[in-house]
Structures are given as structure tokens and as C-alpha cells.
Amino acid sequence: MEHLIKDNVKAIEISGIRQFNDKANRTQGVLKLTIGEVDLPTPNIIKYKLIEAINNDLTKYTQNKGIPELRDLITTNIKKEYNVSYSTEEVILTVGTTEGLSIVIKTLVDEGDEVIIPTPGYVGYEPLITLEKGKVVGLDTTINNFEISKRALEEKITKRTKFILITNPNNPTGRVLSKHEMDVIVDVVKHNDVFLVVDEIYSEVVYEDQFSSFIHYQEIREKLIILNGYSKSHSMTGLRIGYLIANKNIIDHLVKVHQYYVTSASSISQYGALAAEEFTYSEMVKSLKSRRDYAFKRLQSMGLPTELPNGAFYLFPDISEFNISSEEFANKLLHQYKVAIIPGEYFLGNHKNYIRISYAVDTDTLKEALNRLQVFIFDLKHN
């Protein structure tokens, strides 16, 4: 019956990250620095809200856009932080940021349309775009110290460009955009017939207090779509709850696609997120910062060139000196030294000279995994 499956579904694959992680799970005694979620539990106050929602029978359909209390609170918090006004109707609660991305892509991308994405980039984007027969146009930032330059961005724009997709802070680099880069991106959007879609899922996992949302660029409001969620900010990946904010002209279309795909996000998760929206999980961020500092120092002492990232929970060291691909590097490290990391070439942009290390694991695991990595690096340098 294979012939009945759509060609563009056959053409995509389960992500390299998932496959590599499954391989690591099948290998005994492996320490994993692969995972895109924090080891810490979901805070109790959120758990109580989830249980309370069940006990109060809040287990029925909600409005398609989601419960007004949470959408209200999101807009109130935006007003407080950025002095920007969005109405409750301009927010949709989604099944994780992933559903937000999916409905944006479903709404905007037709066959042959192009989406510009700076690379290295998150693996979840491209398959959603190719499923719509659209095309990803990568913008390689490794050649410019991971910075997005105006010229490079403008050069990628064609008549078929529908939107620019930015991840800030970035996965896999953990990098947070500078104000200058944000200005440049907004300027390009302003002068071209394109949308700007920003995935800010790591917005609360920032260390040097320099994150600012694109939401304050109200001069491009009619072209701006902000995606966010609670998976990373409150360690609740399994609850599948996120949101998107956009001007009414866009929301009116997005909500139709959202309605027919999912009706609404889980009612229980929406109530859990209502508690999450009230506070920042600062113990988690503090703990991640000390793990980042520790892991970064260790990589420096191994002589692996690495940028100090200001957000998310990943490090992205350069392994070019070893003259092997990131996949070969990762396979050797997995099979001979029992540590799993993710090859850079599994991310958007196919960056074979880098690896991604997730430090969102407990400190004992992190320490021992880095000890093993150090031995591997020593062996590579001396054999």
C-alpha cells in the first residue's frame, strides 16, 4: 500500500536527533547530553493547577483560541514588559510551539514558496515546510561568527519569500540576538513584502538579562507573528502547551487552521499554563546558568573552540580541527566512550564541523560525560 502514501510524506524522515537519541538509548551505560528538555520537575504550583482543573471537571472543549483568562494574562504581561497592546483575541493557545509553527506554515506556505531560516537552525522547521511543498532557504551564519548581516539576509529574499523565521534564543547555538541584529532584521522585513515569524520558546532561559522580544517592533505589527510556549520555560514539555501572538489580520486566518487541526489545546494544560504565566522559574534558570558556566569552562580547558551562549541550554563547539564529520565524531564518542551528543549536521544547515551538547542534565552526569569527552579529545589529538 506504500504507493498510496503521499510522496512528500515519504520524502521526510524522523529527525536525526530522535534517531540518534534512540540509538543512545539502546547502547548500555551511555550518558546522554542530547536532550532538549530540563531534568528538573514541573513546579508544584503548576501541578496543583493541573490536578485542580481535573477535579473541577475542566475537561471539556475550550474556546478555539483557548481560555480567555490565560490569553488575558499573556497580553497583560506583554503590556507590562514592553508597553505594547494586544487584545485577548490576538492570542491563540496552541498544542506546544510546534502546533503554532505548523499552523503558521499551513497558513502561509504554498507550493514553491520560500522561507528564509538562519542556520544552524532547529530541525523541526524544514519538514513542516516541505510537507507544504515549500522550500527552506538557509542563511549560513557560521561564516559570520553566527551573526545575521543585512546584506546576507537581503540577498536571500526573492519574489517567492513568504517569511523569515528566526529562533531567539537559538537552538542549537544558544545564542541570543543583539539589538543591532534585531534592528537589521526588522528593517529588512519593513522594506519587503514578507512576514517575520519568531520562535521565542527559549525566551525565559536567558542568563545575562539581555533578551528582548521582537514584539516591541510595532512598526511591523501587521507582519509579525510571535511563537512561544511553556515547554522550556517551566519544564513542562509533555503538557504540550504554547501560544502565538499576531495582529488580528493574521490571527483571523490562523485560527481557522488551528480549529480544523486541533479544535483547541488541552484544557488541563491551559489551566496549568495559567499558573506558569504568573512566574519565572528562576531556580531552574539559575541552575542552568551554573551548568553552562561549568560545561563551558570544561570545553575551554579541552581546547574546543566554543562561543559562550547567553540562552537556551546548549553549547555548540567547533570540531573542525579533527577533520572528521560531526556524525563520525558523535558515533565514535557514543560507541567507544559512551557519551551521546548530537552531530551538528543533524541541524538545519548541515553543519558538519560542530556538535551540540545539551547541559540540561544533572551535574553528576554532566561532569562524568565531560570527563569522558575530555579523554576522547585527548585520544583524537594524540593518535
Chain centroid to CA 243: how far?
Answer: 13
Interaxial angle between packed helices 96-108 and 248-262, expressed in degrees from 0 to 180 and rounded to the nearest 10: 110
| Residue placing its CB nearer to ligand PLP in the complex, 198 or 377 | 198
CB atoms within 10 A of CB 56: 9
CB contact set of 224 (below 8 Å; sequence gap of 6+): 189, 195, 196, 198, 214, 215, 217, 246, 247
Closest to ligand PLP by CB, 237 or 331: 237
CB contact at 8 A, 128 and 108 = no
CB of 168 to ligand PLP, least distance (A): 9
Closest residue (Cβ) to ligand PLP? 96
Q: Are strands 355-358 and 314-315 parallel, antiparallel or unpaired?
A: antiparallel
CB atoms under 10 Å from CB of 209, counted, come to 6
Output the smallest distance, CB 7 to ligand PLP, in A. 26
C-beta of 171: minimal distance to ligand PLP in Å? 4
Nearer CB in complex with ligand PLP: 66/229: 229
Distance in Å, CB of 124 to ligand PLP, minimum: 6
Residue 97 Cβ vs ligand PLP, minimum distance, rounded to whole Å:
3
Half-sphere exposure of 335 (CA within 13 A, CB side): 5
Closer residue to ligand PLP, CB minimum distance, 126 or 298? 126
Residue (75 or 233) nearer to ligand PLP, CB: 233
Contact residues for ligand PLP (CB under 6 A)?
Answer: 36, 96-98, 122, 124, 167, 171, 199, 201, 229, 231, 237, 242
Residue closer to ligand PLP by CB (options 43, 242) is 242
Q: How far is the CB of 228 from ligand PLP (least distance, A)?
A: 8
Q: Quick one: 127 exposed, middle or buried, by C-beta within 10 A (0-12, 13-18, 19+)?
A: middle
Nearest-5° Cα angle at 211, 119 to 34: 50
User: Distance between CA 152 and CA 370 in Å, rounded?
Assistant: 36
Rounded to the nearest whole angstrom, what is the least distance from the CB of residue 218 to ligand PLP in the complex?
24
- Which residues on adjacent β-strands are paired with residue 284? none
38 close to 359: Cβ distance less than 8 angstroms? no
Residue number with CB closer to ligand PLP (130 or 371): 130
Query: How many residues can be counted in the chain?
Result: 383
Contact 376, 336 (CB under 8 A): yes
Least distance in Å: CB of 354 to ligand PLP?
16
Burial 270-293, CB ≥16 within 10 A → b, else e: bbbbbbbbeeebeebbebbbebbe
Smallest separation (angstroms) from ligand PLP to the CB of 197: 11
Looking at the Cβ atoms of 75 and 231, the one nearer to ligand PLP is 231
CB 200, min distance to ligand PLP, A: 9
Q: Is the Cβ of residue 169 or residue 298 nearer to ligand PLP in the bound state?
A: 169
Could you give the strand order of the β-sheet that contains 314-315, starting from the edge strand earlier in sequence? 314-315, 355-358, 342-343
Beta carbon nearer to ligand PLP, 163 or 376: 163
Q: How far apart are CA 294 and CA 148, in angstroms?
A: 28
